[in-house]
Structure 1
Amino acid sequence: MSKHWIAIDWGTTNFRAFLMQEGEQLEHINQACGLLSVEDGQFATTLHHLLQPWLEHHGALPIVMAGMVGSQQGWHDVAYAPLPCEAEDLLSRTLSFTTPWGSPAWIIPGVNGMSQYLQPDVMRGEEVQLLGLAALHPADEQTVLLPGTHSKHVLMKHGQIASFSTFMTGELFSLLSQHSILGRALPQQIESEGAFLLGVATAQRGAPFSHLIFSARTRRLAGEIAAAEIHSYLSGLLIGYELLALSPGLQAWIVGSNSLTTRYQLAANQMGRDLLIANGDDCFIHGLSHLFSQL
């Protein structure tokens, strides 16, 4: 019997798949092929195309998915697991089905509950990374950041997801840089650590948010920031503003890609916040492998 299977994180903008042999990653696929790019609900056709080389070689492998693929806009709408949440709660709500080509498939549910600011909140996909982090780095209590399109700040207690809050940092950067006057008529952008840290420092001054972000235009007009460095400055503003939610001196984990975690850690160092980095793929694979072993 084959011990191969496929782990998938299918989000709003990105698709990541991992060819697994038990708990070991053999190959991976990373495509900008999130839900927004799937036309007319053609999830099965899209997935089969993306996985075709693996399916041709290994046959109709089991597939375990997490992320927005289980949302109302996804392949199947899988009901959330409520807070507090642990692995057993996710397993009891996991949706199983068979793909048109015969692969047994499962979609892991997301999690919902009230945020620390007493607002209803949701996550899909991050719950798998959190379970993986808790297994790799067990602790009685952990604060965890998961940066991305919709960044999450999470409190873990004894391996359970106790509470979390969402910050639309990544999506705001995309909207402001592409569809607002802040990003209009800009030259080719370059990475500037100086402009980024200036944005972080500016965010620390406590200005109202809509006034704060306008400085990405006025500092350019005043000649304080080069036009090619506006994205770096705006990124610093948004990340710095998000990190104000962390108490000074608090040590927290940050789980994600190297590029994002490095940027957040740079901002956190300037702000007196201590972030420990964990690789997002490692946490996701570890968490999903545990869930798959129980299905």
Structure 2
Amino acid sequence: MNSETTFLSCDWGTSAFRLRLVEREGLKILAEESSKQGNAATAERWRQAGQPPEQRAAFYQTVIQEHLAKLEATVKTSLAGLPVVVSGMASSTIGMVELPYKPLPFAADGADLEVKKFEPTPDFDHETLLISGVKSEDDVMRGEEVQLVGCGFENTAEEQLFLHPGTHAKHVQVIGGQAVALKTYMTGELFGLLSNKSILAASVEEGGRLDGGANRHWFEEGVQASRRENLLHNAFLVRTNDLFGRATKAENYFYLSGLLIGSELQELLLRLPARIVLAGEPVLLAHYEAALRGLGISDKCPVETKTAEEVTLNGQLAVLRRPAPTAVAPTAAP
């Protein structure tokens, strides 16, 4: 494989690992390997190995190498020498190296993100770029900054919004080619807690699609309810919907989703941006698109949707193409 035409994309989260072989032109994925070997599991493996701190980066590279071997078996050729771009939680306290957060603002084209470069070694024959996260005075993100770069925001004086749904949804304001403000919403995590650990767990049932049966109707009911009442009251209606036979448990699942997503998006009604770029996993994109329509937001400002895969690869390639930082060589693992 040619390092001028292909690269290795590593999206390394807390609980999941994904490695892709990617063509630079058109960002075509040639092969992919994924596992549950996220940073949390890798950090535990490293602690159990009892290795000194200076060997940590090399230990994490052995995990990448395990997945690389599987990629090579898939494509039936050597991938030696291809650069690896790593984003996500790998630059955190549980990652291969803890890098400092880049303070806001940062350039929306990724020109000034915090990046650490590791030189190839005899044990890991790949230049490695590790991308750090971003912080405001009271908020942080790791991984989403690369996805924001991959959105290709215009350099305009108008306020644009990067909206990334997920466990911890991110809203980032972009003005004049700079990401200037950041807010995290614990929408996905709260949904998981309420639907699995609270009294509401007995009143909801996961399954089905947004467009299945009356699910969309109940999702939209939840979105509209988020405009009328406080979330702490609205959440209890999930239980009474079930007790009084108003909705099935599956429909209630979508009602609760609509309540929480609608509550997250309320602030946009007070201050609409000129444009929203919604980037994430396809299932969540459908929910957020429906909520933005239900609240009338998408009628007042354009909403562009992009997949998490697309913006991650775009963002990583943008970082790969920028002038390289000074490289270091990780201490080899014994």
Task: Tell me the TM-score normalised to structure 2 length.
Answer: 0.77
Pairing 1:247–2:269 present: yes
Deviations 1:139-163 (A, max 9, x none): 4431121111111111111221111
Question: 5 Å matches for 1:44-55?
Answer: 44-55=61-72
**2:205/2:253 contact within 8 Å kept:** no
Contact 1:16 1:31 in 2 (8 A): yes
CA contact (8 A) 2:172 2:180 kept: yes
Q: How many residues align?
A: 286
* Aligned with residue 223 of structure 1, among 237, 245, 252: 245
Secondary structure, aligned partner of 1:77: coil
Q: Which moved more, 1:234-243 or 1:270-279?
A: 270-279
Long gaps (5+) in structure 2: 47-59, 210-214, 325-334
2:316 to 281, 288, 293: 288
SS at match of 2:320: helix
Report the counterpart of residue 17 of structure 2 in structure 1.
15
Q: Which amino acid aligns with 1:151?
A: A
Query: Within the alignment, does 1:203 sit opposite 2:221 as a pair?
Result: no
* Bigger mean CA offset, 39-48 vs 284-293: 39-48
Q: For the structure 1 residues 146 and 8, does the alpha-carbon distance in structure 2 shift closer, same or farther, using more than 3 Å as the test?
A: same
Indicate the larger mover: 175-184 or 244-253. Answer: 244-253
One-letter amino acid of the counterpart of residue 2, structure 1 = S
State whether residues 140 and 158 of structure 1, in contact with CA within 8 Å, keep that contact through their aligned partners in structure 2. yes
Task: Give the unaligned 5+ runs of structure 1.
Answer: 115-119
* AA aligned opposite 1:205: R
Deviation at 1:186?
Answer: 5.2
SS at match of 1:95: strand
- More relative contact order in 1 or in 2 (CA 8 Å, sep 6+)? 2
After the TM superposition, which parts of structure 1 deviate over 6 Å for at least 4 consecutive aligned residues? Answer: none
- Counterparts of 1:269 and 1:66, CA distance in 2: 32
Larger radius of gyration: 2
Aligned to 2:54: none
Cα separation, 2, equivalents of 1:188 and 1:168: 19
What does 1:94-113 align with in structure 2 at a 5 Å threshold? 94-97=115-118, 100-113=123-136
Q: Who is 1:134 aligned against?
A: 152
Q: RMSD of the TM alignment (CA)?
A: 2.4
82, 89, 101: which is aligned to 1:80? 101
Deviation of 1:63 after TM superposition, in Å, equals: 0.9
Residue number in structure 2 paired with 1:117: none
Amino-acid identity (%): 33
Residues 257-266 or 50-59, more deviating: 50-59
C-alpha change, 1:37 and 1:196, in structure 2 (3 Å) is: farther
Q: 2:187 aligns with which of 161, 169, 184?
A: 169
- Structure 2: how far apart are the matches of 1:254 and 1:175? 24
What is the match of residue 83 of structure 2?
A: 62
Are 2:251 and 1:234 equivalent residues in the alignment? no
| Partner residue of 1:276 out of 294, 298, 304 | 304
